[in-house]
Structure 1
C-alpha cells in the first residue's frame, strides 16, 4: 500500500523516542532525522521536508518546556500537526450544489486513471442523491469511449460520447449542453491524458475548458509519479488552473510522496484518493484523517462514511441494543457486514490499532479468519443463535457439536462466545447509560442543564454507543466502535500492537478511543 511503509517508519521513530529512558534533545533530533529520511525516500520534495523539520523543532523547544510537561504528548502532537500541514493547503475546494448543474472537468497525465476515477466520482455523488452523468471528451486514446461506456453502464450512470466526432471540444460542449437541458446536477467531463511538453494538447485542454466553463477542474495524479509530480502539477496549474487533486492507485507499492508534494507546490487541496480498482474504492480526503491513518491511529470518521454508503441492514441488532441485548445471531450479522465492507487491509487503515495488529497478514488470511467465525455461527441451532450464550456454559457439549459441524476447534468456538459475552456486557452498559441520560433530561424539564447533558452524552459515547452527530453515528460504525470498548489508540495515539494476533481483531474494532491526534492535537 502506498505510504504504508512511510507511516510505519514515522510511527516507529516517534515510538522509539517516547519509550526511551532518556528523552532529551539529542534523541529528539535523531527522531526528526529519521522522519526526514523516511519522507525523502518516499519522494516527498526535499524543500518540503526541510520546512517540516523546522516546524517540528519550533513546536518542541526543550529548553523552554516546564519540568512536569508531558514531552511524549507534545512531540506526538508536533509531528501530527507538521504532517497535516504538508497535505493541507488551507484552500476550500468547490462544493457542488443540489438543484443546479455542476460541471466538473478532469485533466491529467496519460495512464493516471482519469476515466475510471470519473466513474468512481459520479458513483460517489450518485450515492449521495445527486443526478450524475459522464461526458467522454477523450477522442485521442483508442478505446477511451468504450471504457467509459462500460464503466458507466456498470454503475448505471448516463453517459455521452461519439465514435465519429474527432473534435473533443465539440463532444464536450454538446455533451454538457445536453445534460444541462436534462437538469443533471453533476456533469463530469473526461479529457485526454497529456504531458506538459505537448503544447498542442495543452492548448486543446484550454479550449475544452473554455467551451464547457467547468465549476471545478480536477487534476488526477498517479501516486507512483514520484519527483515529476511537482513539475507536472505546476504546468497544469498554469494552463488549466485546476482547483482540486485526486490521487489514484494508492493501493500500489510506490512511494507516493511525490503526489503529496504537488499539493504544497500548487496550494491545491486533495479531494479524494483512489484505493483500488472497484467503483467503491474512492475515499473523501481529509488531512487529519489521512495523517491519522498514516500513523496507525485509524479514521473512525471515514469508517462511518463508508458504512453509511453501504446501507447495511442493522434494524434487528439495533433493536436488541436498545433493549440491552446482544445475541450470538447479532454477532453473526455484524461479522457478515464486516465481510461486505471490503478488503480487511482497507478496514485496518480506518480502525485504530488494527493496521499494526495485522502485521504481515494479507486480506486472504483475514477473510479466512472471519469466515471461520461465521461458519461456527452457521453450525448453531436457532435457539443457540438467539441466546445470550449462557446455554453453552450450562451445556458444554454444545460447543463440541458446533466445532465438529463447522470444521473448527472448540477453542475457536470459545473465543467467539467470549467475544459475544463481551459485546453483550457492553450492550447492557449502553442501555443503562441511555436510561440514565433520559432520566436526567426528564428531571431537567426538557430545557435542562446543558453542561450536565453534555457530560452525560460524552460518557455514553466513551462507552461506544453514543450519538455521533446530529442524527447519530451510523449503526454499523457504532458497532465497530463497541468491539473491544477500550483498546484503541486513545489519548496517547500511535500504539504499537504488532505482536497481537488476528484472533483479537474483533476485540479491537473501533478501540473505544479514536483515530484522532494525540491528546491536545487538533481534529
Structure 2
C-alpha cells in the first residue's frame, strides 16, 4: 500500500533525527525537509506541505526549550499533530439515530466504487445493530441493479430496485417510502455516477435529493484521482451540498495522500476509507487513528471496536489471564480468534509496531503459519492443552509425537511452546492489573468505552515502568517492549512476527468485548 510507504518514510525521518548523536536545529530542519519531500511525492498539495513545515517549526522552538525538555517527544508530537491537521476538516459528521429512519444518499463519479461502497456501509451499520437496506436509483448504468442485488444478497441486506422503471427519481422515492413504512433505520440510496460537466445528470441528482430528502449525502471518491479530488468535490458540493466523503481504493492508490488531503481542504469530513474489494474492507476514518496507523503506532481503539463487533468468546482466556495463567489451550483460542479478525495485514496496522513486522509477508503465508500452530495444539492429548507446557520439557518425546501428528517439525513445536511460556510470563505480570481493570469495568457497567481505553493506556504505560505515551498519546515501542517482557522470543518461522505481542494486545482488548 502506497500510504504505508509514505508512513514508513515519515517515521524513518523522525526516528533518524531522534537517534542522531546531535539533535540540533540543523538536523531538525533536515527532518522537516525529508517529510515534506515524502508528502509532495505522495501527491499532497504543495500549499498544505508548506503549512505543515510552518506548523512543525512553530511547535518546536529550539532556543526556547528548557535544558531538561524531552526533545524527542516534543518533535514526535509536533509531527503527529501537524499531519492530523492536514487531514482533519474540523467539521462534525452526521450521526444516525437508532429507532428512526436515516436516509443516506450516495453521489460521485462513475467508476469510483459507489455501488460496492453502499453495500459496505450498509454492512457496517448492520454489524452495529442498525436495521439497514439498499435502494438502487442508478437506472443509467447497465447492470447497476444486478450488481447491487448481488452484493446485497451476499451481505443479507434487503434491497429495492426496478428493471422496468427508467426514472431514477421515481425509483428512489418509491424505495425510500417502502422502507420507511417497514421501519428501517438506515436507508442507503445509490445513484448514477456523473461528472461535474454533465449538467443534465447534475440536475437529476438534485431532483433525487429533493424527492428523498436525505439526512446525509455522501460523495464517493476514488483515491487514484489525487489532487483532482478537490475540484470534483467542490463542484459536487456546490450542487448537492454533500456533508461527508468516502474515499475508496486507498489500498493501491499512488495518489491516495493527495486525495485525502485535497478533500480535507474542502472542510468536509471524510467518514470512511475503502481499503480493499471485500465487504469488510471499509474503515471508519478518524484523523488521529489514520495518522497513528500511518506512522506505525497502531489504532488500539479501532482494534478494540473490531474485537467487540466480532463478538469473540474471550471469557475463559480472560479469566485465566486475570489469575495469572496462560495454557496451551488459551494459546490455541487466541490464534483462532486472530484468524477470525480478518487479514493479518489489516490487523497489523492496528497493533503498534506490527505493521513493520508484517513487511514482506502476505496474508496467505501468515494465515498458513497460524493454521500450522493450531494443528500442533489439536494433535495434543487431552491433558496437554490445559497444561503450562512443562510436561513437554520434562518429556521431550511428547514434542516428537505432536510434530508427527500435526505434520510439522519438532522445532516448530518448540517455538509454539516458547511463545506459550512467554505469554504465561506476561499473564503473571498482568495478573494484578487485569483484576483492577475488570473491577473498574464492572463499576462502569462496561458502558464508557473512552474511560476503558484510557485505563488500558495507563496500564500499558505503568507496565513500561513509567514510559509515557508516544506521539498523540499512543504508547511508544519502548514501553511496549517492556510490557512484553523484553520483546524477544519472536517466531523466526513467522517472518519475524512476534505472536506474543499480537496476542497480549489482543488479550488486553478482550475484557471490553462482548460475551
TM-score per shorter chain, which class? 0.7 to 0.9
Per-residue deviation, 1:427: 2.7
Match of residue 156 from structure 1: 156
CA contact (8 A) 1:426 1:485 kept: no
Match of residue 476 from structure 1: none
Measured at CA, do residues 286 and 350 of structure 1 come closer, stay the same or move farther in structure 2, by a change above 3 Å? same
CA distance in 2, matches of 1:98, 1:406: 49
Measured at CA, do residues 500 and 83 of structure 1 come closer, stay the same or move farther in structure 2, by a change above 3 Å? farther
Per-residue deviation, 1:182: 1.2
Structure 1 counterpart SS, 2:188: strand
Match of residue 478 from structure 1: none
Alignment of 1:34-433 (within 5 A): 34-433=34-433
CA distance in 1, matches of 2:129, 2:440: 38
Measured at CA, do residues 462 and 403 of structure 1 come closer, stay the same or move farther in structure 2, by a change above 3 Å? farther
Q: Structure 2, unaligned stretches of length 5 or more?
A: 442-452, 464-474, 485-489, 507-515
Per-residue deviation, 1:297: 0.6
Measured at CA, do residues 298 and 500 of structure 1 come closer, stay the same or move farther in structure 2, by a change above 3 Å? farther
CA contact (8 A) 1:485 1:508 kept: no
Per-residue deviation, 1:510: 6.7
Moved more, 107-116 or 276-285: 276-285
Measured at CA, do residues 57 and 434 of structure 1 come closer, stay the same or move farther in structure 2, by a change above 3 Å? closer
CA distance in 1, matches of 2:428, 2:78: 39
Deviation by residue 1:79-105 (Cα, 9 ceiling, x = unmatched): 000000111111110000011111000
Measured at CA, do residues 29 and 486 of structure 1 come closer, stay the same or move farther in structure 2, by a change above 3 Å? closer
CA distance in 2, matches of 1:510, 1:65: 40
CA contact (8 A) 2:460 2:479 kept: no
**1:487 paired residue among 464, 467, 481:** 481
Q: Does 1:502 align with 2:495?
A: yes
Structure 2 counterpart SS, 1:329: helix
CA distance in 2, matches of 1:455, 1:189: 38
How many residues of Structure 1 are paired with residues of Structure 2 in the alignment? Answer: 476
Superposed CA RMSD: 2.8
Alignment of 1:506-521 (within 5 A): 506-509=499-502
Deviation by residue 1:337-365 (Cα, 9 ceiling, x = unmatched): 11121111101111110111222122222
Measured at CA, do residues 82 and 511 of structure 1 come closer, stay the same or move farther in structure 2, by a change above 3 Å? farther
Structure 1 counterpart SS, 2:352: coil
CA distance in 2, matches of 1:194, 1:99: 33
CA distance in 1, matches of 2:101, 2:130: 10
CA contact (8 A) 1:488 1:512 kept: no
Q: Structure 1, unaligned stretches of length 5 or more?
A: 442-453, 465-480, 491-496, 514-523
Per-residue deviation, 1:114: 0.6
CA contact (8 A) 2:196 2:236 kept: yes
Structure 2 counterpart SS, 1:403: helix
Alignment of 1:422-501 (within 5 A): 422-433=422-433, 486-487=480-481
CA contact (8 A) 1:486 1:512 kept: no
Per-residue deviation, 1:314: 2.3
CA distance in 1, matches of 2:296, 2:483: 8
Per-residue deviation, 1:72: 1.1
Q: TM-score, normalised by structure 1?
A: 0.85
Measured at CA, do residues 193 and 439 of structure 1 come closer, stay the same or move farther in structure 2, by a change above 3 Å? closer
